[in-house]
Structure 1
């Protein structure tokens, strides 16, 4: 009886030893072979983007994004950069431009008005016809008047729509084709030394308040780079051909909102 008891105890101990060896082997294999189902956490580096104004690189999540351009601050977004572009404007590049003469910086801003079709600026789609016109993409079949002007090659640096949107077509470093045959205080070829600013309007009705606000903001930005800018209407520099911006453009209001000195208005601030 005692022998059988010793045999059973021995068998039990041998069983426990075998089981323990299997557990040790299993643990070792688990340690050597990581769980394939456990997701591995990887940290991808965040994309860096350059500020269009100052070229400082910053994480994309921290940048101010406007029309797929990146800026490091609102100040830089709302400034005229060294290449002659305002960050907060909508950019619609015009092919109708060329280089300014050597050593010439703009010292004149010319105010224009334009509406396409004529006097139909109240329609939502009207503004894009001006953009098409300045980009040589105007559809001659879209309106009878367009057939008369579709071959013209013209542009302006800026357009301010009836809603106050600012659109830029040409860098201020380059010459836009807006003034034509013109003379400013005895100086011919005004395109060489001027910045053209178009206001969406027809000369027969008042401009919108928001257009004056955008214009004042634009002039403030331009004044940082061009502090000696003088101001004139297209009719002032081409009186035999042009009447814009017309009698409904409020020069006094414009001066009051911009605080520009009288000496920078050589033709005065009376409506004309």
Structure 2
């Protein structure tokens, strides 16, 4: 993988989302939030995540889409089950991924965090490819944003308890820590 340039990863497929805006001035990027997503729920592959993050999800393509097609959400990155890396929002911009959230007493996590979606669900084990790409991507991000220490990597469920459950019990935090220890 190559390093970040202008908030973009050269190794990622670029799929710009309109669901972004400027971060507050002088806000240090110091948190990384791990999410999970599958569209339709518990189904993998297909164009639907890209469509959602680009406000192009057809409400009649699946019954679930009728409920969510109006949402304006995004993440900085998505790691698909085969390890493909997709970038929707440059890191220096605010992606709309965390919603109402709080980390260590500080609210509005979108203001100071980078959001990474893993294609998956709470109960489905994530793939080896996803963990490998996630660990390498985190290390690249940490080079440009050193305030994102390993202790400042968290799950959506941790910053929005009671509202969100992802990345869920299937996510192996211990394995991610082990991989991070091996990656330079």
Determine if the TM-score, normalized by the shorter chain, exceeds 0.5: yes
How far residue 102 of structure 1 moved from its aligned partner, in angstroms, is 0.4
| Residue aligning to 2:66 | 147
| Residue aligning to 2:159 | 237
The 2-side partners of 1:165 and 1:134 are apart by 16
1:250 aligns with 2:167: no
How far residue 228 of structure 1 moved from its aligned partner, in angstroms, is 2.2
1:221 aligns with 2:145: no
Q: Which 4+ runs in 1 deviate beyond 3 A?
A: none
Secondary structure of 2:24's counterpart equals: coil
Q: How does 1:165-244 map to 2 (within 5 A)?
A: 165-229=84-148, 230-244=152-166
CA displacement 1:146-182 (0-9 Å, x = unmatched):
0000000000000000110000000100000000000
User: How many residues are aligned here?
Assistant: 179
The 1-side partners of 2:136 and 2:56 are apart by 29
Residue 81 of structure 2, aligned match among 162, 165, 168: 162
TM-score, reference length from structure 1: 0.65
CA displacement 1:126-147 (0-9 Å, x = unmatched):
xx20010000011111111000
TM-score, reference length from structure 2: 0.95
CA displacement 1:223-261 (0-9 Å, x = unmatched):
11111211110000000200000001000000110129x
Structure 2: segments with no counterpart, 5+ residues:
none
Higher relative contact order (CA 8 A, sep 6+): 2
The 1-side partners of 2:145 and 2:178 are apart by 19
| Residue aligning to 1:86 | 9
Secondary structure of 1:109's counterpart equals: strand
Between 146-155 and 99-108, report the one with greater CA deviation.
Answer: 99-108
Structure number with larger C-alpha Rg? 1
Root-mean-square deviation over aligned CA pairs:
1.1
The 2-side partners of 1:206 and 1:132 are apart by 24
How far residue 188 of structure 1 moved from its aligned partner, in angstroms, is 0.5
Structure 1: segments with no counterpart, 5+ residues:
1-76, 261-272
